[in-house]
Structure 1
Amino acid sequence: MTVIAKLTTVELKLLAREPGSIFTILIPLFILVVFGSSISPGDTVLLPMTLAIAVGLVGLYQLPTTLATYRERGILRRLSTTPVRPGSMLVVQLILQLVLALTACALLLAVAGTVLSAHVPTQVAPFAAVFLMGTAAMFAIGLLIAALAANGRTANGVGVMLYFPMAYLAGLIQPVDQMPVILARIGEFTPLGAFRRTLQDVWAGVSPDLLLLGVMAAYAVLISLAAAKFFRWE
């Protein structure tokens, strides 16, 4: 087994034991089950919302908290003296956090499609493109938080403080049609709002808005560059 494979195995076990990972999966699932029992099978709003919630929790809470904690404890610094370079840890963490997001969303889709008989889009390519673009944007923000936070506790707090206003503007806390028009419009141009809107378009069988896809791509690229500039290994 290669060094990277061993590192991935160890980190996967740690991630599986992390309470935050469990809550990342259970919170969106709880929302889906509680509210899904009262909606029609053709609903195209609730499931995209819960998918966006799941990815948002991983990107803004789980990812930055883990990386900032590793730096705080000197794990990244010590790795620089071993064959496992700090960059390898970063790549492994990004992959595992993506797996966590995929697991949470796969569970949501499975429960929605079987237990709740909810509408699930049949066009895989548009859904995959939107999902990957939205996830990249949210992970970029998480990386920037990890880069700037002094420790894991700070990263956790910043992630939570960012999540709730972004979730509100994105229409994940209050339905968009009940929000002031100007706030709803602004929310569509936030990374989480653009993600929710384009997912909802895919669910409704409409082509994703190219402008909003571009917005998510811009967030992903620009914020990732900022995170790379400010990221510290120790």
Structure 2
Amino acid sequence: IMAILLENDHPSTPLVNAGAISANSMVQPVGNSDAKWKAIVDNMTELCGSTPQLIDELYRSESATNFNNRSIAWLLKNYNRIYDDPDMSLDLYTRQCSMGITAEQLSICGATIANEGLNPNTNKQVFDKALSPKITSMIATVGFYQHTGDWLYTSGIPAKTGVGGGVMGVMPGVMGIAAFAPPLDDAGNSVKAQLAIKHIMNKLGMNVFNGHRIHVQ
């Protein structure tokens, strides 16, 4: 909420609640919840190579208790940072938060981003390759909430975490990687998934910041 108040002249990053709700409001067509949801699920399916499933029990529970996010949606409306009906946009966001996804699907999603938008399993171009560096840099800078700097320093891979216990890593031009374990740290990041990915990255000697000497003639 403070970010909205302090930065009310531009949208928040879509990797936090306020920015994600705002981003959902931009999905076309305006005013059509069913068509918006189909577009969102279709995009998830193309990224992951198969369709994640909505967990109805979780969706109902989240919808009944998402008072903070409801406040955020209407605060965004107050600052003209939401571009469709606030309640509809919040519902779309809540549904996305209630999707069940496997570690395999998540790793394919990461690999698609790492592969400049080309899904390596389906060979389908999911998004414009020019967007890949922008998506990856956003993941690198805010993917682990307040622990993002520590994560990037110790793991060497841009990654996005979620309070469901999943972590998705993106190694540009190389691979996607994912791990899942429910116990979370104080920032809402999976403890065991972090350790697993760090171990694999260190074992393989991979680091996005590794320097490679080049010679220009």
TM-score w.r.t. the length of structure 2 is 0.30
Higher RCO, Cα 8 Å, sep 6+: 1
TM-score (normalizing by structure 1): 0.28
Higher strand proportion (structure 1 or 2): 2
Name whichever structure is richer in helix by fraction: 1
